[in-house]
Amino acid sequence: MFSNLEIKEEGSLTILAINRPAQLNSLDTEVLQEMGKWLGENRDQGRILIITGKGEKAFVAGADIAAMKDMTPLEAEQFSSLGQRVFSLLYHWPAPTIAAINGYALGGGCELSLFCDFRYMKKGAKIGQPEITLGIIPGFGGTYFLKKIIGEALAKDLIFTGRLLSAEEAKEYGLVHMILEEEDFLSSVIKHVKNLEDKSLLALRSAKNTINDDDISQALIKERTLFAELFSSHDQKEGMSAFLEKRKPNFKNSD
């Protein structure tokens, strides 16, 4: 039914894996639309949900740069809006959600994990918001959620520099809850999530609904507006071209 998702159930858990390992599970319009469709259709089931990526290298290594490179500002705004809508479905999923970060979680991949309630990270994985190196900013909610989760100073550090964090650094920052070293990472995540299964699902849903009772809409609108405006800039075109050509970008940092 879904060409880019793999979905399976294990006990009271549902595991949703982004299934584009050859593209490091990068997000394009089709992937986001499939995620949105599945999340919308299955919301009423309200099962505990684990999000992960297929393969050994990546959770989600960001949005698809090749697909974004030539977007107009309007197309960029629409792409950002789609990502924010889909991730908001995840944020408002009635039961607990867990990001099982099995590899690179960059850009949109980091943002995807931020919309989850828990983040478990495999030792050796990397996480961050490197959009600044492409001449853009996070567009799927990163500017809001990084500040919310790790504080303004650390959020600025990651977004302004674009640097990536190791699992150990991410744990120190409070960005991830737990580092798992076991070879069978997903099985280890499932084992640790089991402590939620014997809790009252009704009470878990009520607790999540209360904790998440804030209005994120205005922050997301501002982010996607500024994200889209950058797609009319020299720096966005240069940054994404340089990324695809595997060279250092030459940003226009003066008038």
- C-alpha span between 203 and 46 (Å, rounded): 12
Q: Which residue of the set 56, 111, 182, 223 is catalytic?
A: 111
What integer pLDDT is reported at residue 134 of this predicted model?
96
Tell me whether residue 185 is exposed, middle or buried, using C-beta atoms within 10 angstroms of its C-beta: 0 to 12, 13 to 18, 19 or more: buried
Structure tokens at 97: 């959600």
The amino acid at residue 71 is M
Asked whether 122 and 176 are in contact (CB, 8 A), the reply is no
Structure tokens at 82: 């789609």
Task: Confirm whether 168 is a catalytic residue.
Answer: no
pLDDT block averages, 10 residues each, the chain of length 255: 92 94 95 97 91 96 93 97 96 96 97 98 97 97 96 97 97 96 89 87 89 87 96 96 95 72
- C-alpha span between 208 and 25 (Å, rounded): 28
Task: Confirm whether 111 is a catalytic residue.
Answer: yes
What integer pLDDT is reported at residue 34 of this predicted model?
97
Q: Which residue of the set 10, 131, 168, 182 is catalytic?
A: 131
What integer pLDDT is reported at residue 182 of this predicted model?
76
CATH class of 5-182: alpha beta
What integer pLDDT is reported at residue 132 of this predicted model?
97
The SS3 call for residue 214 is coil
What integer pLDDT is reported at residue 254 of this predicted model?
52
